[in-house]
Structure 1
């Protein structure tokens, strides 16, 4: 079954966003691969026709997108909920925190490992011995 909606949020760097269905309802995730290969990138407030499938993780996502000629409703509806933008912001925040936490863990491992390899008072080039 085909639905109509408007692209309400888009993260250019990550290649995904959200579509606000015509007539209301929950926003639907959409990835770059769902867009037609016509050489045009996704544009906010772009009217679209799409099908919905359930992904492996259980979330609904839009597939088989087609661009529509006429705008079915105003951009003000996109701003009304902000759910799509919030979802994109949460994903960005998780990615940043994941990288930051991974970097901190790596630094901690290197510091602790350095202390074990070169105990205080050891000279460069000396082999650390167990005491």
Structure 2
């Protein structure tokens, strides 16, 4: 039997994450090998269709994942209730903050490694070239 849900967490270094079923319930473990081999990596909040099996360790896990169209994303989020929806909102906020922090660090690294004045320091610039 197939279920729908969204990818609620992902550890890129370890290659596994969790899926929140659209109808509610406990999150399920999912491994990288369960994703389709279409060249796209896992993306947070991505709508997915999956089957559930019990793994060797006794935990339920998602297998045979299929990517759902973008319209299914909004429906899956609407069906998620309570804590799950708040978690999605936190994930969006973290992603935005992470991108902003990455941009700041990049600018700082670039500024630190580039000399902004053509002849050493601003004091060394001839008066005719100053604005």
- Compute the TM-score of the two structures, normalised by the length of structure 1: 0.58
**What is the distance in 2 between the residues matched to 1:27 and 1:64?**
16
Q: Which residue of the partner structure matches residue 105 of structure 1?
A: none
Q: Kindly state the Cα deviation for residue 58 of structure 1 after the two structures are TM-superposed.
A: 0.2
Structure 2: unaligned runs, 5 residues or longer: 92-131
Q: Does 1:74 align with 2:53?
A: no
Look up the match of 1:53: 53
Following superposition, the deviation at residue 81 of structure 1 comes to: 5.6
1:22 paired with 2:22, answer: yes
Of structures 1 and 2, the larger Rg is shown by 1
Q: Higher helix fraction: Structure 1 or Structure 2?
A: 2
Instruction: Provide Cα deviations, 1:29-59, integer angstroms capped at 9, x if missing partner.
Output: 0000000000000000000000000001100
TM-score normalized by the length of structure 2: 0.58
Unmatched 5+ stretches in structure 1: 86-131
Count of aligned pairs between the two proteins: 83
Aligned Cα RMSD in Å?
2.2
CA pair 49-80 structure 1, distance change in 2 beyond 3 A? same
Q: Is the CA contact (8 Å cut-off) linking 2:28 and 2:61 kept in structure 1? A: yes
What residue is the counterpart of 1:43 in the other structure? Answer: 43
CA–CA distance in 2 between the matches of 1:73 and 1:79? 10
